[in-house]
Amino acid sequence: MLVTAVGYLIAQALWWEGPALVIAFGIFLGQLIVGWTNDLHDYSDDLHHNRIEKPLVSGLISASQLRTAIFIVTPLAVIVNLFGPLGLKGGAVYLLGIGFGLAYNFYFKYTPLSPLPYVIAFAALPASIVLAVEETPPLWMMAAGSLLGVAAHIANVLKDFEEDGASGIRSFPRIIGEGASRTLIAAILLATTALLNSVYANPVLLIVGIIGALLTIKAPRKILFKAIMVVALANLVLLISALDSEIGSQEFSAINPYLWSSTHPSKG
């Protein structure tokens, strides 16, 4: 839901609300594919570790029902993303990110290269929306997306650190250990906050980002991911503000009539 919200807010900065909602829907469908295939692939391991919060393990749904849902959603996601407001170029880039998400589920999750799909997928998300309006995605935006994606990946692994070890999963965070992983998360969040603040300065959000990043070093696992989400939300506000600022300075509205500008009636 957070990734979908991020996509919607970025799209709203470039388009008006109608296309932004369609873009968000396409992003949501892509996230369902990644999440559902992950649960289906990990079913036996989740069952072994009694992860009853998972619908398959709790018996809320069956594996066959989940497969049917995946088969229905996958072509719908392709159609909405390629033939919706993202267009062929933007849609293809977003679906590339989904492809790497699937590659993580089935391969990279078990290797030292586990952060790689997050680097690509979380850069592809904002890039796809900018490409849809025939502009070149700013490097700072893609870098911020990649950094936040890697931080989220490491935090997600820490949540099941012992269980992954018992299952023989040798992902990058498992290899470097919990202490180093926590330090790396803090460094990544600090770097992301500093990067976005350099593009669009906001002292309050900078402080929130720094405090949240430092808390991840000692935060209990139960709230670690929540702490990262707080920093991610602060960085999201910085990213949207920076994107709005860049749009205004480069007058993107002259290229696409749906882009934000001071003369667009839906944006005032």
Cβ proximity of 193 and 238 under 8 Å: yes
The per-residue pLDDT for range 117-145, each reduced to its tens digit, is 999 999 999 999 999 988 889 999 999 99
The per-residue pLDDT for range 184-243, each reduced to its tens digit, is 999 998 999 899 888 888 888 788 888 888 888 887 877 777 777 777 777 788 888 887
250 falls in which pLDDT band (50, 70, 90)? low
Helix (H) or strand (E) holding 240: helix 221-250
Q: How far apart are CA 157 and CA 165, in angstroms?
A: 10
More confident residue, 69 or 53: 69
* φ/ψ bin of 59: left (φ > 0), alpha (ψ from -120 to 50), beta (otherwise): left
More confident residue, 218 or 111: 111
Mean model confidence pLDDT for the chain: 86
DSSP letter for each residue of 155-220:
HHHHHTHHHHHHTT---HHHHH-HHHHHHHHHHHHHHHHHHHHHHS--HHHHHHHHHHHHHHHH--
64 falls in which pLDDT band (50, 70, 90)? very high
More confident residue, 27 or 253: 27
pTM of the model: 0.85
The per-residue pLDDT for range 141-189, each reduced to its tens digit, is 999 999 999 998 998 888 888 888 888 899 999 999 999 999 999 999 8
Q: What does the block give as tokens for 82? A: 């390629």
Residue 134 three-state SS: coil
- Which phi and psi angles does 131 have, rounded to 5°? -60, -30
Residue type present at position 70 = I
Q: How far is CA 129 from the centre of its chain?
A: 13
22 falls in which pLDDT band (50, 70, 90)? very high
DSSP letter for each residue of 195-210:
HHHHHS--HHHHHHHH
Cβ proximity of 153 and 115 under 8 Å: yes
